[in-house]
Chains A and B, each alone.
Chain A
Amino acid sequence: MDWQGQKLAEQLMQILLLIAVVVAFVVGYTTASFRTMMLIYAGGVVLTSLITVPNWPLFNRHPLKWLDPSEAEKHPKPQAVVVSSKKKFSKKLVSVLKIIVSLISLNQMTTFCY
């Protein structure tokens, strides 16, 4: 069953059982027969189980759209790139440090000249 079908099956089950209970009690009470009430209720349970438990097509009217396998092969999963990003970061860090060192040395040279 699909999701919509499952929801429908659950609701149908609850409503049908409640109706069976109410009808059974009313008929049993008015005819003053406990046996009648039990028989009607048992019949209601069997009917509900026949309607809601098996996998009827009406519960499969909104099937899920799974991705086609050939389509999945066209877009392979990306490889792990964790190591390269670390290298890039360290490269960037080194270049920034180099700039800072050159600025300091330039500053010193200028003061020295001055």
Chain B
Amino acid sequence: MSSEGPDLVCEVDNVQGIVDALTAVRWKRQQDAVVELSEHGVVLIVEESSCLQAKVYLQRELFIKYEYGGAQGRPRFGVSLGLLVNCLNTFSVPGSGRSSSTIEIRYPGPDMQLLLKSVDSLDACIYAEIRTRIPETISWDYNFEPAGTTPISFTVKSAALKEAIDDLEWPGSSVQIILQPDPPSVTFKGEGHGDLQIDFMYYVNTDLLIAFSCDHQVSYRYKYKFLQATTSNIPSSVIRDNRGSKLTIGRGGMLKVQHLVSVARPSIPHPHVDSAGYQQPSRIAYIEFFVKPEEDESTIND
């Protein structure tokens, strides 16, 4: 007999971490997100005009409790991202004597709502119900394929990446990203109201460019506003931790930008944190952006 129980009942002990991860993909005030539930965790997807897509992976290890009951397939629902984030913010109430609260998230409610409830205290609780909708199928299949046998990618300190992209706002509406193997380097170029070129040299700026892989020169243009969306809302914790963000250029110039957001409670030392501040993957949320390149005959590729 199929169970009548909910598809998912889970508990989160650091709401702020979840809010940080979700905020990383909020580049507009009003965004409709698609949420997908599975036994592996929760994935939230937002996209814009078939040119930009972002995914937040919250794997089940982030939750202190994760009971997945979804029988067939992966339940999906649509929800307003802004509403979800604002709602989660009401749960982390300062001045309540605790730095974070534990909340239970349940789906679906009797009316297919997303149900949230704080479970810290017996005599006081905050609760919320968010209306969901049947999601549209994602229009664009972001099938990311590697560019060739050798991946074209680099890892750069997140703070440096954000700063570079912020600086490129000045020249104009599109940014050219050029990777070349010899000398190994990444160049960001903006042209418009004046020119700006930012170079990261692999063997020179070793504190900024952490990893690099490229066997032939590639160059693609991306619309500035989409590129900016990939770093504009990086949570301050990511900048502070100064982890690396990985950028990969796939076939056809599709750009993948990956960030890691810590979801662990900062006040309590995690048993898996070593001296360098590295945390086990289980306390990290993964953010992925996919940006389509601009159609441009003048891209220089082999």
A complexed with B: no
Q: A residues touching B (Cβ–Cβ < 8 Å)?
A: none
